[in-house]
Structures are given as C-alpha cells and as structure tokens.
C-alpha cells in the first residue's frame, strides 16, 4: 500500500536521502537542505492558500510506503511555470531558405529561445527510489498531481507541460550543452545547473543565451543526436506521461536539449475520466474488483492511492484500510479514475 500526500517539514530528512540517490541528470529535484526546506514551505503555503486564479503556487507531493511509513518518491506541480520571472525554452522552428536566382529552396531546422510556456502549469521533480522496478506506485506518484488538479481546477492553467532531463554521461557532461550553452555561459553543465538551481526562469538565462535562431545543422553531430532525447532515468516518467496524453516535439530544454512534453488539460486521461462517487466500506477481493486511482476531494489534506474497488450504483466500495489511507469516512465523496 502506497499513498501520495502533500510534503511536510518532517519529511525533509527523508527527501534529502532521496535527493542523494538521484543522478546528476535529474535537475528539477532540490538537492540541499535549504532548497528542500524552501520548497516544502512554499508548498505548505500553496496548499493553505485560498486560490481563485493561478499564480506562484507550487504543490509538492511525497509517495509514502504505508508498511513502514518510509518515503520512496516525490513530485511537484507548479501552478505557473514562470514564477518570479519567465520560463525559457528552445522552440523547434523551420526556417525557409529561398534563392530565386539559383532556383534553390530548402528548409532548415532552427532553435529559437522563447517564453511561450510561461503561463502553463508545470509537472516537475518526479523521482522514485526504485525506478527500474516501480509498478503502480510510479503511476500513482505521477498521476496524483493531475487528480489534485481535477478537484481544484482554479489553481491551474488550461495547459500543462513537463521538461524531461536530456542526455548526459556519468560525469554529467551533456553533448548539447557542450555544443551550445557552454559557449555562452563558459562553464560546465552541472556548474550552470547549480548556478540557476535547476530553474529555467532566471534573468541570467536571457542575459547569456543566444537571442537569435540557432541553426541546427551547424551544431556537432553529437549535439544534433541529443535533441529531444531522454536521460535513462526519464524513461519511466516519459512512458507514464505519454500514456496520460502528453506529446513532445515542439519545445526542448535550453540546457541539455531534453524533450518538453505538453498537453491541454481536457486531453489528459486523469482529468478527462475522473469521476466522483460516494465511498462505502466493505471487503474487496483483488480478483473481484477493478483497479482505481482514488483520491479524497479536499484541497487541504489531499490523499491519493491505487487500489481495487467495486462500483455499486453511485457508491465505490473500498476496504477500511483504503478509507484510512485516504483519510475519509464511509459516505464521503472521493474522486477516482479506473486504471
């Protein structure tokens, strides 16, 4: 049994342990105690806020193993990507080159620095301890954020995106960064990541990054091959997000060239198929019930689990242990998606 819930200050030591397990390629997970504390405090304030229009809120969740109460993962959703600034990305463009005198016309792939994702809501910081062997708990950690967005739509935008880590080696060297970003920042990839603290909205980005289109054919072959490619640790979240309805190709990360996936909220499976039911307590054998992603409907004290349940009219039958994990009583309302 796993449960997703909002992060608390008491979780910081466990989150530090998780951060130490993450590779250098996972650049959206806070690493230091100070940054983790800042992220958790911001999240607590966001959950407590009475929000009518999305703003600078950030909601941090943890995945807890109910057997020993250990934390095995974390994820975040930002109400607006461009908090305290503008979110920068490279947009994949096609530049048409035409010479009438030579009767030549061809298309050139170019990258243009843009801020079009600024008003989008952003899924971020997905990390799970046992990435290679994760099962339903990985889907729970990823999709619980969208289940929360389904119960509190006023807190988020109409469009969502996710930036996945791009290709880098064991030493943190990125072929895309070496070919482009290093020329402007004059520092190693990991040093640059540290300088911006994983953010993509710092003023120094627009101060240093090229303002004119970058012609992809002028980049080394290794950098071109890295465009839109995923770091090995990003394969699990990529598969989950793709199944959810996210699509890639239009934007890439400005540092490592990793893919940026985007979707309209109405096309996301969790939000599109979420339904509300009255919950009742009873015995549900695994082979008798269907598998559901289930959450309570509270903006403060949100909880979500994946479990077996059985529908009886307008009621969803769950075990007493499930009700306890969700912190709901029989007769209360839950929101769920059939898996």
Angle 228-232-237 from CA coordinates, rounded to 5°: 80
Contact yes or no for 80/54 (Cβ under 8 A)? yes
pLDDT in tens, 219-253: 999 999 999 999 888 899 999 999 999 999 899 99
How confident is the prediction along the chain (339 residues), in pLDDT tens digits per residue? 899 999 999 999 999 999 888 766 566 677 788 889 999 999 999 999 999 888 889 999 999 999 999 999 999 999 998 666 688 899 999 988 787 778 888 899 999 999 899 889 999 999 998 877 678 899 999 999 999 999 999 999 999 999 998 998 877 789 999 999 888 888 787 777 766 665 565 666 777 788 889 999 999 999 999 999 998 888 999 999 999 999 998 999 998 999 999 999 999 999 999 999 999 998 776 556 689 999 999 999 999 999 999 988 889 999 999 999 999 999 999 999 998
State residue 81 phi and psi, 5-degree precision: -65, -35
The answer to whether 149 and 247 are in contact (CB under 8 A) is no
pLDDT value for 84:
65
**Cβ-based neighbour number of residue 218 at 10 Å:** 12
């Amino acid at each position: 049994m796993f449960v997703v819930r909002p992060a608390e200050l008491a979780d910081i030591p466990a989150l530090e342990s998780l951060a130490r397990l993450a590779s250098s390629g996972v650049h959206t997970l806070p690493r230091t105690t100070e940054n983790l504390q800042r992220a958790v405090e911001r999240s607590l304030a966001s959950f407590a806020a009475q929000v009518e229009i999305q703003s600078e809120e950030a909601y941090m969740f943890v995945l807890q193993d109910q057997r020993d109460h250990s934390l095995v993962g974390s994820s975040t959703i930002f109400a607006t990507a461009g908090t305290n600034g503008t979110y920068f990305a490279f947009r994949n463009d096609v530049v048409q080159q035409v010479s009438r005198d030579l009767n030549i016309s061809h298309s050139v792939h170019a990258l243009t620095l843009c801020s079009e994702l600024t008003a989008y809501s952003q899924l971020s910081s997905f990390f799970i301890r046992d990435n290679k062997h994760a099962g339903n708990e990985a889907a729970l950690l990823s999709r619980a954020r969208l289940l929360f967005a389904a119960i509190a739509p006023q807190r988020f935008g109409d469009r969502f995106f996710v930036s996945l880590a791009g290709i880098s080696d064991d030493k943190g060297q990125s072929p895309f960064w070496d070919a482009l970003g290093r020329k402007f920042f004059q520092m190693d990839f990991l040093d640059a990541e540290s300088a911006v603290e994983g953010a993509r909205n710092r003023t120094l980005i627009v101060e240093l990054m090229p303002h004119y289109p970058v012609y992809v054919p002028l980049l080394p072959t290794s950098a071109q091959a890295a465009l839109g490619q995923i770091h090995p640790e990003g394969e699990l979240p990529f598969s989950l997000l793709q199944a959810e309805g996210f699509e890639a190709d239009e934007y890439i990360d400005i540092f490592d060239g990793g893919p940026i996936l985007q979707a309209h909220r109405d096309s996301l499976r969790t939000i599109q198929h979420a339904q509300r039911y009255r919950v009742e307590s009873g015995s549900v054998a695994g082979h008798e019930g269907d598998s559901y992603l289930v959450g309570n409907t509270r903006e403060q004290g949100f909880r979500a689990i994946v479990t077996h349940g059985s529908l009886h009219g307008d009621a969803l039958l769950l075990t007493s242990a499930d009700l306890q994990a969700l912190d709901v009583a029989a007769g209360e309302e839950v929101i769920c998606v059939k898996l």
